[in-house]
């Protein structure tokens, strides 16, 4: 009997679990935070490893002597030691397309919520029952404002369409890997330098992968170049931002606000966390890494995940749809789509 291990079982994937079991696979589900030792023990005789958040280290991959492949049921692959997997000939695949529109909608929801102070107004209604039109509650239109995209891939281009065509915003884009013509077709004006985006944008939204080049892409220097009226949106990866510097910028009023769905250390807690101060800031909207989480997106995710599992379990090359160069550098057991 083939064995599959799925980590992060708190993210329920009933179609994936039932589908694997119906194929005669012995499926073991593990909780988030299982740790390297526990995961290494479980994958020692596994044919397939499915993960979402749990780190998959070189030691874990080396312990899995039967492993046919690693499936990230999601997009980001920064928690997987890709080089170790390549060295050992273990294919790695993700599911990059399932939530393009979904996550873009989530970013837009944070943006419009901050522009109209919806989070603070909701709290005021809950505590006081009403709010009068005093300067404290003055919002702003999105029409006519400038949105700066840091990363103009699938999600960024979806957000550009919503903002440009839907709300008549001007959209700027910084992405060294996307050419000017591709951006133009998406309604985005290409800007050559990150600083140029930060200085000119009313809202800055991050849509890039996390790797060694992009870690802390937005630090103290970059935050200092944003408008004092500027707002930062991050629905990609928490470590794209120097979060200590971000908290300082918000406390000191050097930027106007932030909408955050992702954090370097998750979950965030009200006390004892580097980002705990955000709970007390009315100019901040936080969501718990759930901009991807809709019924439609999860249906697509589970369908694609099962398809990749079938390819690996049947000994076929696994279809890599992502254009991430780390995955495109694989040479064994993969086919590119």
Active site residue 289: yes
Give the HSE-up count for residue 287: Cα atoms under 13 Å, Cβ half-sphere: 22
Of these residues, 243, 289, 302, 308, which one is catalytic?
289
Between CA 80 and CA 86 the distance in angstroms is 11
Rg (CA), the chain: 21
Active site residue 270: no
Of these residues, 32, 36, 266, 303, which one is catalytic?
266
Convert 83-106 to b/e letters by CB count within 10 Å (16 or more is b): ebbbeeebbbbbbbebbbbbbbbb
99 DSSP 8-state letter: T
Between CA 218 and CA 237 the distance in angstroms is 12
Active site residue 15: no
Between CA 266 and CA 72 the distance in angstroms is 18
Of these residues, 68, 86, 237, 308, which one is catalytic?
237
Helices H, strands E: what count in the chain? 14, 14
Backbone phi and psi for residue 4, each to the nearest 5 degrees, phi listed first: -125, 140
Residues forming the active site? 237, 266, 289
């Amino acid at each position: 009997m083939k064995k599959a291990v799925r980590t992060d079982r708190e993210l329920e994937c009933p179609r994936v679990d039932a589908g694997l079991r119906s194929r005669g696979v012995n499926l073991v589900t593990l909780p988030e935070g299982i740790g390297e030792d526990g995961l290494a023990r479980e994958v020692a005789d596994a044919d397939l490893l499915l993960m979402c958040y749990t780190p998959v280290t070189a030691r874990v991959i080396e312990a899995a002597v039967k492993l046919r492949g690693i499936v990230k049921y999601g997009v980001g692959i920064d928690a997987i030691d890709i080089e170790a997997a390549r060295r050992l000939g273990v294919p790695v695949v993700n599911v990059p397309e399932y939530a393009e529109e979904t996550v873009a909608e989530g970013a837009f929801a944070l943006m419009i919520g901050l522009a109209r102070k919806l989070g603070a107004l909701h709290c005021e209604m809950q505590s006081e029952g009403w709010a009068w039109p005093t300067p404290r509650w003055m919002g702003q239109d999105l029409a006519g404002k400038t949105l700066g995209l840091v990363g103009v891939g699938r999600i960024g281009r979806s957000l550009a369409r919503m903002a440009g065509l839907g709300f008549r915003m001007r959209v700027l884009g910084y992405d060294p890997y996307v050419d000017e013509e591709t951006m133009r077709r998406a309604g985005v004006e290409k800007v050559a330098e990150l600083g140029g985006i930060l200085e000119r944008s009313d809202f800055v939204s991050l849509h890039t992968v996390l790797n060694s080049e992009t870690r802390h892409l937005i630090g103290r220097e970059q935050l200092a170049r944003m408008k004092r009226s500027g707002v930062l949106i991050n629905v990609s990866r928490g470590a794209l931002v120097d979060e200590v510097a971000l908290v300082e910028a918000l406390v000191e009023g050097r930027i106007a606000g932030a909408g955050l769905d992702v954090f370097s250390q998750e979950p965030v807690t009200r006390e004892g966390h580097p980002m705990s101060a955000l709970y007390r800031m009315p100019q901040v909207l936080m969501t718990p890494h759930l901009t991807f989480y809709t019924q439609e997106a999860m249906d697509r995710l589970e369908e694609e995940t099962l398809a990749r599992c079938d390819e690996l379990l049947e000994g076929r090359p696994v279809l890599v749809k992502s254009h991430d160069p780390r995955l495109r550098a694989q040479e064994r057991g993969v086919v590119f789509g």
